[in-house]
Chains A and B, each alone.
Chain A
Amino acid sequence: MKKTILSLWLLLSCSVFAMAQSLEDAVHKLDGAASVKDYEALEKTFVTLTGQQPNNWLPWYYAAYCNAKIGFLYQEDGDKIEPYSVKGEEQIGRAQSLLDSTKQKQELSEVLTVASMVNRTKVFINPMTYGRKYGMISEKYLQQALQLVPDNPRALYVRAWVKYHTPKMWGGDKPLAKELAEKSLGLLAKDKAGAVPHWGKAEDEALLGKFR
C-alpha cells in the first residue's frame, strides 16, 4: 500500500515536474524563436499548456506574447495582423484574470507590458484608422506597467521602441530611446532564466543596433 502511494506520489511529482519542464522547454524555445512560423508553433504549445495548467498565468501570458510578436513581424502587412491581435488580447486578458492584482505586482507589470504590445499591433493594422485609439490604449498599459515596476526591463524596452518609432512632434525621442534600451539591457543581465519572463535581450540589441 505504502509502495503504491509512494509510486503514485512519485508519478504525480514526476508529471508535475514534466509539465513544468515542458513550459520551461517551450520558454527556452521561445528564446530562440525568430520567424512567424516559430511563434505560431509556440503559441499552439502554450495554448495546450493552458489546458494542463489552468491556474498558471504564464502559458496565457506567453501565448499572448507570441501573438504580439507575430503582429510586430507583420508590421508592414496590415491585412494579416488582426486575427493575431484579437487572439493576443483575449489571452492576455486571461493571464491577467489569474493574477492577484494587489500582491503580484511584478507579474502584473509583465502582463500589462504584453497588453501594451498587443494593442500596439492593432495600430499596425492601419495607423491611420487604428492608431489613435489603440496607440492610446497601448500607452496606457505601458504606463501602468512602469508604474508598478519602474525597472521592468521589458516595459522599458517597449517604451524605448515607442520613443524610437514616434516622430518628434508626437513625443518621439531617439536619444531617450537609446538610453531606455541600454537601461533595459543592463537590467536584463540580472534577470534569471527559467519559465518566468526574461525576454528582451535580443529586442534591446536589435533596437540599439539601429544607432550604429
Chain B
Amino acid sequence: MTRYLIWIFLAALPGIVYAQQVPKDSAAKAASDTIPRGTPKNLKQVTVSAGAFEASDKAKGASLTPMDAVTVAGNNGDLSQALRALPGVQQIGETEGLFVRGGTSDETKQFIDGTLFKYPNYPSVPGISQGARINPFLFKGILFSSGGYSALYGQAMSSALILESVDLPEKSSASVYVFPSNQGAGMQRLGKDNRSSFGVGLNYSNQTLYNALVPHVPDYFQGPSYLEGNANFRIKTGRSGMFKVYAVWSKSSVGLYNQDVDSAALRSGYLVKGSNVYTNMSYRTALGQDWKMETGLAYSNNKDKRVVSLVDAAEKPATLPEVPLTLKHNRSDIHADFAQARVVFTRFLSGDQAVRFGAEHFYAKDAGVYRDSAVAQTDQLSALFAESDIYLTGSLAAKVGLRLEHTSLLEQWSLAPRVSLAWRLNDESQLNFAYGLFYQEPQNEFLYRNRDLSLSRAAHYVVNYTRRAHNRFFRVEAYYKQYNDLIRLLPPDAKSISTGNGYAKGVELFYRDKKTFKNLDYWITYTYLDTKRDYLNYPTELRPPFAAPHTMTIAVKKFFPDWSTGINVSYALAAGRPYYNIRYSDGWQLADEGTTRPYNVVNLHISHLMTLFPRWKHKDFSGFAVGVNNVLGTKQVFGYNYSYDGQHKMAVSLPANRTFFIGFFMSLGIDRTDDFINNNL
C-alpha cells in the first residue's frame, strides 16, 4: 500500500527549503539577460471559494499546496486517504474513497484535467481499504469541493475532486525505490528545447511476504498483489498550447478467507481480480487574445471479477441449509467501457471577468455477470454547461452557472443551477456563499436490475468564512444539504424505486499555522455532522452507518534541517458510528442497533535524507523512510456484520492493528554528462 510513498519524500523535500540548485545554463548566459518584467495586476482581488479546499502550486502563505495536501501521515499513497485530514470527510477505515458530508463514497467523483476518472482505486474488498491506481503527485492543482462546486462538473451529489495534472517537469530525472513489499522505478525525460517531455513508470506491490511477517486476521489465498505501469507525453504547441497524454494500466489480485458469520466451522472466501486501463488526452490553447479552449478525451476499460464462496476446513465448497445459496456463493464478472469527450471555451472579459461554456459526452457500457445474473447496459450521457465569473464590485464576486444533462439510460433531463458569491471583508478575510443542485444516476448495482429509476438529487446551501494572515489560515463553513429521489428497496424481492430522501447539515472548522513554530507546520480540523436518510431498506429515517457526528483531525509535519530528517504525524478522533441490523418481516424492521466505539488513530512517518554521490552536479536525493499506521495499536471497530438469523454479529476491524513500512529510495538527474566533465577536468 506504500506504492507511491516514495514520492512523498522525494517530491516534498526540495520544496520544504528554499531550492538552491542553479540552472544549468546560468554560468554560460551573459549577465545582460533582461530581468523579466512583472505585470502588476489587481492582486488583492476577491476569489470565489465557498465549499472548496484548493491546493495549488500557486498557494500563498498558509494556503495548501498539493504537497501539503498529499503528505499527510497515513495516506497510503492515496490522495483520497490524505484528504481525510480535511474537514467534511468521514474517517471510514474499512473502505476506500471519500465520504463527504453525509454522502457515500459513490457521491464523490474525481476529475483529471476535466475528464472523469471513473475507477480511482483498485476494486474494493469488503472490510479492507484498497489503494489508489494513480500517483497522487501527478497533480499541480487539487481542488477538493465538499459542496457547491462548479457547473463544469456533474454526476456527483456530494463532492468533486478536481485535479489538474502537471505540465512539463523542471528537469529530467530517474528514481527507484525498494520497500519490502513494494518496488518501483520511473523516469522523466525533458526534451532539449524544454518544450516536450515523456516519462514511464512501473510499480509492483506484493503483500505476501509482509503478511507472513506481520500477524493479521484475514487468511490470504491470493496476493494481495498490484502491478501498475504508466506513461506520459507532454508537448507545448505554439505560443500557448499544451498537449498531454497520460496512460495508466493496472492489475490487481486479492483473495482472502474470513471466519463466516453464520457458522463457526466455515469460512467465507472473497476473490477479486481487477484490471484497468485509463488514458487521458488533453489539449488547451489560447485562441487569440480573448479566448481559451480546453479539450479532453478519456477512455477507460475496466474488468472486475469477483467470486464469493463458503468453504469448510479443507477449503471445499460448503453450504448452510438455513441461508440462501446465492448469498454465500456467487460470481460477478463485469466488463466496463467508458469514454468521454469534452470541450470548454472561455471568453475573457474586462476586469478579469469571464464566461465559460462547453459540452461533454459520456459513453458507458457495462456487460457481464452480476451475482450470477447476466447484465448489460449502455448509457449515453450528454451535458451542456455555462458559467460566468462576475465582479459586481471590487470586493463582491459571483460565479453563476447552469448545467443541462440528458441520460439515455434513464431517459431523463436535468437542469442544475449553481451559484456562488464571495464578499471580501478586508485584506485578510472573506465571506462566501454557495448554492447548487447536483444530480446523479443511481449506482449500477440497482440499474442492472431496474431501469425504471430516476436521477437522485442533492441541493447544497453553503456559507463560509475565511481569514488568511501571517502564515495562518482559518476557515469555518456551515452547510445544509437536502437529498431527494434516493434509491429505496421494496421487499420482498428488493425491487428499487426512487423515492428516498434525506438531509445533512453541519459545521466544519479548519485552522493551519505555519508561523508559530519554526519548521513545524500543523493543521487542526473539526467536523460536526448531523445527517439522516430514508433510503435503501431503512424502516425509518436513520443516521447512516458511515456518518459520525463529531470528527477531529490533526496533521503535523516537522522538518529538522540540520539532520535532514522529517517527521509527519497525523491524528484522527471520530465519535462512534451507528450500526443496524435491518430484517424483513412484514416490512423492513430494525432488529438491532448500536453505536461503535470511537475511532482513534495516530499515524507516524519518519524520513531521513542523504546524498550518496555529492560530487554529481545533479546530485542524488536518497533516503530511508519508516512509518507505522495506527501506532498505538488501537482496536478499531467500523461496524458489525450480522448473521442471517440475526443472532450473531461480527465486528468489522482492521486486518492488522498496526501497519509498518520501511524502505530505501533514490532519485537523480539523468543528464549528468556536464557533471562528469566538470569534475574530471
Which of the residues B62, B468, B469, B609 comes within 8 Å of A169, measured between beta carbons?
B609
B428 touches A (CB below 8 Å): yes
A135 contacts B61, C-beta separation under 8 Å: no
Q: Once the chains are docked, how many angstroms separate the CA of A145 from the CA of B26? A: 12
CB distance from B516 to the nearest CB of A (A): 10
**A89 to chain B: which residues have CB within 8 Å?**
35-38
A167 contacts B561, C-beta separation under 8 Å: yes
**B468 to chain A: which residues have CB within 8 Å?**
79
B611 touches A (CB below 8 Å): yes
CB distance from B346 to the nearest CB of A (A): 24
B43 touches A (CB below 8 Å): yes
Q: Once the chains are docked, how many angstroms separate the CA of A162 from the CA of B37? A: 24
B316 touches A (CB below 8 Å): no
B56 contacts A129, C-beta separation under 8 Å: yes
**A85 to chain B: which residues have CB within 8 Å?**
38
Interface members, chain B 1-46 (any A CB < 8 Å): 14-23, 26-27, 29, 31-41, 43-44
**A92 to chain B: which residues have CB within 8 Å?**
35
**B540 to chain A: which residues have CB within 8 Å?**
none
**A77 to chain B: which residues have CB within 8 Å?**
61, 469-471, 515
Q: Once the chains are docked, how many angstroms separate the CA of A131 from the CA of B611? A: 20
**B672 to chain A: which residues have CB within 8 Å?**
none
B65 touches A (CB below 8 Å): yes
**B564 to chain A: which residues have CB within 8 Å?**
167-169
Q: Residue-by-residue, is A137-167 near B (CB-CB < 8 Å gives 1, otherwise 0)?
A: 0011101110110000000000000100111
Q: Once the chains are docked, how many angstroms separate the CA of A83 from the CA of B438? A: 38
B31 contacts A136, C-beta separation under 8 Å: no
Q: Once the chains are docked, how many angstroms separate the CA of A4 from the CA of B104? A: 90
B58 touches A (CB below 8 Å): yes
Binding-face segment, A33-41, A47-55, A119-127, A201-209 = A119-127
B44 contacts A128, C-beta separation under 8 Å: no
Nearest opposing residue in chain B for A170, CB measure: B20
**B31 to chain A: which residues have CB within 8 Å?**
101, 108, 112, 144-145, 147-148
Which of the residues A79, A93, A125, A139 comes within 8 Å of B34, measured between beta carbons?
A93
**A80 to chain B: which residues have CB within 8 Å?**
61, 427, 469
**B62 to chain A: which residues have CB within 8 Å?**
78-79
Nearest opposing residue in chain A for B33, CB measure: A144
B21 contacts A96, C-beta separation under 8 Å: no
A86 touches B (CB below 8 Å): yes
A129 contacts B58, C-beta separation under 8 Å: yes
Q: Residue-by-residue, is A170-181 near B (CB-CB < 8 Å gives 1, otherwise 0)?
A: 111000000000
Determine which residue in A78, A97, A171 has the highest number of CB atoms from chain B within 10 A of its CB, and name it: A78
B164 touches A (CB below 8 Å): no
Which of the residues B18, B32, B44 comes within 8 Å of A83, measured between beta carbons?
B44
A24 touches B (CB below 8 Å): no
Q: Once the chains are docked, how many angstroms separate the CA of A148 from the CA of B31? A: 8
Once A132-B170, A148-B31 are accepted as A-B contacts, the answer to whether A93 and B19 lie under 8 Å apart by CB is: no
B20 contacts A79, C-beta separation under 8 Å: no
**B43 to chain A: which residues have CB within 8 Å?**
82-83, 86
A25 touches B (CB below 8 Å): no
Nearest opposing residue in chain B for A109, CB measure: B31
A183 touches B (CB below 8 Å): no
Which of the residues A87, A125, A136, A168 comes within 8 Å of B22, measured between beta carbons?
A136
A141 contacts B35, C-beta separation under 8 Å: yes
Nearest opposing residue in chain B for A139, CB measure: B22
B470 contacts A128, C-beta separation under 8 Å: no
Q: Once the chains are docked, how many angstroms separate the CA of A127 from the CA of B16? A: 7
B192 touches A (CB below 8 Å): no
**B16 to chain A: which residues have CB within 8 Å?**
127-128
B609 contacts A129, C-beta separation under 8 Å: no
Once A125-B61, A144-B33 are accepted as A-B contacts, the answer to whether A167 and B17 lie under 8 Å apart by CB is: yes
CB distance from B658 to the nearest CB of A (A): 30
**A97 to chain B: which residues have CB within 8 Å?**
34
A135 contacts B20, C-beta separation under 8 Å: yes
Once A87-B40, A148-B31 are accepted as A-B contacts, the answer to whether A136 and B15 lie under 8 Å apart by CB is: no
Determine which residue in A87, A132, A143, A145 has the highest number of CB atoms from chain B within 10 A of its CB, and name it: A132
Q: Once the chains are docked, how many angstroms separate the CA of A101 from the CA of B35? A: 12
Q: Once the chains are docked, how many angstroms separate the CA of A170 from the CA of B15? A: 11
Nearest opposing residue in chain B for A165, CB measure: B18
Nearest opposing residue in chain B for A94, CB measure: B37
Once A79-B60, A93-B37 are accepted as A-B contacts, the answer to whether A171 and B471 lie under 8 Å apart by CB is: no
B38 contacts A86, C-beta separation under 8 Å: yes
A166 contacts B611, C-beta separation under 8 Å: no
Determine which residue in B19, B41, B59 has the highest number of CB atoms from chain A within 10 A of its CB, and name it: B19
A126 contacts B470, C-beta separation under 8 Å: no
Q: Once the chains are docked, how many angstroms separate the CA of A112 from the CA of B29? A: 14
B72 touches A (CB below 8 Å): no
B61 contacts A79, C-beta separation under 8 Å: yes
B67 contacts A128, C-beta separation under 8 Å: yes
Q: Once the chains are docked, how many angstroms separate the CA of A128 from the CA of B66? A: 9
A123 contacts B60, C-beta separation under 8 Å: no
A76 touches B (CB below 8 Å): yes
Q: Once the chains are docked, how many angstroms separate the CA of A148 from the CA of B29? A: 13
Q: Once the chains are docked, how many angstroms separate the CA of A136 from the CA of B61? A: 20
Once A76-B471, A79-B428, A89-B36 are accepted as A-B contacts, the answer to whether A131 and B19 lie under 8 Å apart by CB is: yes
A132 contacts B15, C-beta separation under 8 Å: yes
A115 touches B (CB below 8 Å): yes
CB distance from A49 to the nearest CB of B (A): 19
A143 contacts B26, C-beta separation under 8 Å: yes
A76 contacts B59, C-beta separation under 8 Å: no
CB distance from B647 to the nearest CB of A (A): 55
Nearest opposing residue in chain A for B37, CB measure: A93
B68 contacts A128, C-beta separation under 8 Å: yes
A90 contacts B38, C-beta separation under 8 Å: yes
CB distance from A16 to the nearest CB of B (A): 29
B17 contacts A170, C-beta separation under 8 Å: yes
Which of the residues B29, B38, B65 comes within 8 Å of A128, measured between beta carbons?
B65
Nearest opposing residue in chain B for A74, CB measure: B470
Determine which residue in B29, B57, B428 has the highest number of CB atoms from chain A within 10 A of its CB, and name it: B57
Determine which residue in A136, A141, A168 has the highest number of CB atoms from chain B within 10 A of its CB, and name it: A136
B59 contacts A129, C-beta separation under 8 Å: yes
**B34 to chain A: which residues have CB within 8 Å?**
93, 96-97
**A123 to chain B: which residues have CB within 8 Å?**
18
B59 contacts A169, C-beta separation under 8 Å: no
CB distance from A101 to the nearest CB of B (A): 4
Interface members, chain B 406-437 (any A CB < 8 Å): 427-428
CB distance from A179 to the nearest CB of B (A): 18
Nearest opposing residue in chain B for A138, CB measure: B18
A-B pairs with beta carbons under 8 Å apart, 14 shown: A76-B471, A89-B38, A90-B39, A93-B36, A96-B34, A102-B32, A127-B15, A127-B17, A129-B57, A129-B65, A131-B14, A139-B21, A143-B22, A168-B562
Chain B residues with a Cβ under 8 A of chain A = 14-23, 26-27, 29, 31-41, 43-44, 56-63, 65, 67-68, 170, 427-428, 468-471, 514-515, 561-562, 564, 609-611
Q: Contacts A128-B59, A170-B21 known; list 6 others, CB within 8 Å.
A: A79-B63, A79-B428, A79-B470, A129-B57, A136-B21, A148-B31
Of all A-B residue pairs in the complex, the 9 with the closest CB atoms, nearest first, are A78-B61, A167-B561, A79-B61, A89-B38, A135-B19, A101-B32, A132-B19, A144-B31, A128-B15
Chain A residues with a Cβ under 8 A of chain B = 76-83, 85-87, 89-90, 92-93, 96-97, 101-102, 108, 111-112, 115, 120, 123, 125-129, 131-133, 135-136, 139-141, 143-145, 147-148, 162, 165-172
